[in-house]
């Protein structure tokens, strides 16, 4: 039988999905440009806010050398990347449902989590580039990244993205099943912005919210990234952060993948895969 010799190669499929989404993104050139501009504006806004706050060292910003601009720059630069790990998978499923391509892809001889993972590759690479752009803009505006330990920062970002992807898969499962209302992502994203240390240190929050921040991988990731990029922390020094993030990933990833399998099965029972 002609089909017997065929076996889908996972790296080739992931690359094909990446190439597909990159080509689609290229066809929306204006959106490309506008998103880049939004990066510039966001950095500029926080630069002037930090000027307003004054240059005096703030003890709560210790891991940013006391400078608010340096502190918030790391938060902004990585928040978009983490946010994509959280909401990108659900977004990809929703888009495929709306455009009608989900069923056409579901008939391919590959698993649903693999298709969903592939669909977030290009957005993740793009968000990573944005992270670099944020950091470069920050340096141009005076952020102090001279002694940054880039390898340590990349390790933290990778592990954090994996851990957060577990939550992102759960959000995708909800969209697969209920079509709308990515509640997990909304709640976690809003909570992250408030408590994880994106815009201000969690230490200024009331104790219950500080406790909540400890339940989010983003909190550890952002603290570790500030140590690596602003305080030149070595790999040894960030090992505890890496261990915590690995722990989150080990728990959340299987849960997220399981949630997608379960939701896909339920959608097959309801016959609702093509609905949106």
Partner 1 sequence: MSAAILTEDLYKTYPGQPPLQALHPLSLRIQTGEIVVVLGPNGAGKTTLFKILATLVQPTGGEAWLAGLPLRESIAVRRRIGMVSEPDRSFFWRLNARQNLQFFASGYGLRPGDDVRRINELLELLELTELAGKPVGQLSSGQRGRLALARALLHRPPILLLDEPTRSLDPTAATDFLTLLRRYLAETPGASVMLSTHRLGAVAPFCQRVLILRQGRLCADGAPDELLRSNNLPVTDSAADNLAQIYEALVGREAVHAH
Return residues touching partner 1 (CB under 8 A). 1-3, 6-9, 12-13, 15-17, 19-20, 23-24, 27-28, 99-101, 103-111, 265, 268-271, 273-274
Contact 241, 224 (CB under 8 A): yes
The single residue listed with the structure tokens 């579901």 is 106
Nearest CB to partner 1, comparing residues 42 and 101: 101
User: What minimum distance in Å lies between the beta carbon of 209 and partner 1?
Assistant: 40
Nearest CB to partner 1, comparing residues 38 and 99: 99
- Residue 20 burial by CB count (10 A; 0-12/13-18/19+): exposed, middle or buried? middle
The single residue listed with the structure tokens 């017997």 is 4
Nearest CB to partner 1, comparing residues 71 and 264: 264
- Residue 186 burial by CB count (10 A; 0-12/13-18/19+): exposed, middle or buried? middle
Structure tokens, 127: 């968000």
As a three-state string, the secondary structure of 72-86 is: HHHHHHHHHHHHHHH
Nearest CB to partner 1, comparing residues 9 and 38: 9
Return d(Cα 70, Cα 222) in angstroms, integer: 12
Nearest CB to partner 1, comparing residues 211 and 268: 268
Return d(Cα 187, Cα 219) in angstroms, integer: 15
User: What minimum distance in Å lies between the beta carbon of 30 and partner 1?
Assistant: 13
User: What minimum distance in Å lies between the beta carbon of 252 and partner 1?
Assistant: 25
Structure tokens, 186: 């909304």
User: What minimum distance in Å lies between the beta carbon of 173 and partner 1?
Assistant: 16
User: What minimum distance in Å lies between the beta carbon of 83 and partner 1?
Assistant: 24
């Amino acid at each position: 039988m002609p089909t017997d010799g065929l076996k889908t190669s996972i790296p080739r499929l992931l690359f094909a999905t990446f190439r597909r989404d990159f080509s689609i993104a290229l066809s929306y050139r204006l959106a490309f440009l506008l998103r880049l501009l939004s990066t510039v504006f966001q950095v500029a806004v926080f630069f002037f806010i930090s000027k307003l706050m004054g240059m005096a060292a703030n003890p709560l910003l210790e891991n940013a050398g006391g400078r608010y601009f340096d502190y918030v720059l790391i938060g902004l630069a990585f928040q978009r990347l983490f946010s994509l790990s959280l909401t990108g998978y659900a977004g990809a499923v929703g888009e495929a449902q709306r455009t009608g391509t989900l069923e056409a892809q579901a008939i391919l001889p590959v698993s649903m989590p693999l298709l969903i993972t592939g669909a977030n590759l290009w957005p993740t690479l793009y968000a990573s580039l944005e992270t670099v752009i944020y950091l470069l803009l920050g340096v141009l505006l005076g952020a102090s990244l001279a002694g940054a330990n880039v390898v340590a920062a990349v390790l933290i970002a990778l592990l954090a993205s994996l851990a957060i992807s577990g939550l992102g898969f759960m959000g995708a499962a909800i969209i697969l099943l209920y079509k709308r209302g990515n509640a997990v992502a909304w709640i976690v994203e809003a909570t992250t912005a408030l408590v994880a240390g994106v815009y201000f240190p969690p230490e200024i929050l009331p104790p219950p919210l500080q406790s909540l921040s400890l339940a989010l991988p983003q909190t550890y990731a952002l603290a570790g990234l500030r140590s690596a990029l602003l305080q030149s922390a070595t790999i040894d020094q960030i090992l505890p952060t890496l261990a915590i993030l690995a722990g989150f990933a080990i728990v959340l990833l299987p849960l997220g993948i399981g949630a997608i399998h379960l939701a896909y099965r339920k959608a097959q029972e309801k016959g609702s895969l093509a609905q949106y």
